[in-house]
Amino acid sequence: MSSPDQNPDYCFEDGLARCWWCRGHDDYIAYHDDEWGLPVGDDQRLFEKVCLEGFQSGLSWLTVLRKRDRLREHYKDFDFQAVASFGEKEVDRMLSDAGVIRHRKKIESAINNARRAIELCETHGSLATFFWQFEPASSMARSPTTRKEIMSVIPASTAMAKELKKRGWSFVGPTTCYALMQSMGMVNDHLPECHRWSAVDSARRGFVRPTKVNSR
């Protein structure tokens, strides 16, 4: 395989090697360098990621990133306890704001999923406990070595989607669930040439998986 400085896919103007998909936009680069792939165990941030991945359906991720701050305002920083209480008034308010994703079914899905998230916490103790149970075994979680090897669906994401749908969640298909797994650090899909691969790998190694149901 060619080195990063020989391959224009990976070499950026600042001299750092990155995954090719974040080229061309500072918002993409910041997200790639500061967030993508780092393990997440906070329930509120996990709910945000589920919502954002669902909002992306049919849109570019750049569109979602650029609307994220406004989405956080409307969705109470993705506090699912608060979002669960939303009604038609909040739906109409968001439909009238061009700064957010103005798609009724996606808005209603986020509200529905907030209610399902509360139920899931009651049965599993936390969203983190539920989601991290789908982490692929180490023998299955191999970082891609070329851009062609990056998957859009794996058996674990299909299983996650199936379980979420059984529990009443929406906009959580296998592809969306795999994007969530990439985003929340359940897999490390940075290419080996990328300067973030080792940092994400280290963070994943040090992350304490939430395996026990919290008592209430």
pLDDT tens, residue order, the chain (216 aa): 334 444 556 777 787 999 988 888 899 999 999 999 999 999 999 999 999 999 999 999 999 999 999 999 999 999 999 999 999 999 999 999 999 999 999 999 999 999 999 999 999 999 999 999 999 986 455 556 555 556 789 999 999 999 999 999 999 999 999 999 999 999 999 998 899 999 999 999 999 999 855 444
Q: Amino acid letter at 112?
A: N
How is the chain split into domains, by residue range? 23-206
Q: At what angle do helices 43-56 and 61-74 cross, to 10 degrees?
A: 130
51: burial class by Cβ within 10 Å (0-12, 13-18, 19+)?
buried
Annotated catalytic residue, options 10, 28, 31, 36: 31
CB 152 within 8 A of CB 57: no
Annotated catalytic residue, options 28, 36, 48, 53: 53
Between the alpha carbon of residue 61 and those of residues 49, 66, 67, the distances in Å are 12, 9, 10
pLDDT value of position 2: 34
- Predicted TM-score (pTM) of the model is 0.89
Which of 187, 47, 35, 21 is closest to 126 using CA atoms?
Answer: 47
Partners of 11 in the beta sheet? 17
Look-up: residue for tokens 């996650």?
A: 160
Which of 187, 211, 207 is closest to 197 using CA atoms?
Answer: 187
pLDDT value of position 146: 57
**178 given a catalytic annotation:** no
**31 given a catalytic annotation:** yes
CA distance 70 to 59: 17
Asked: is 23-206 a CATH 2.40.70.10 domain? The reply is no
**28 given a catalytic annotation:** no
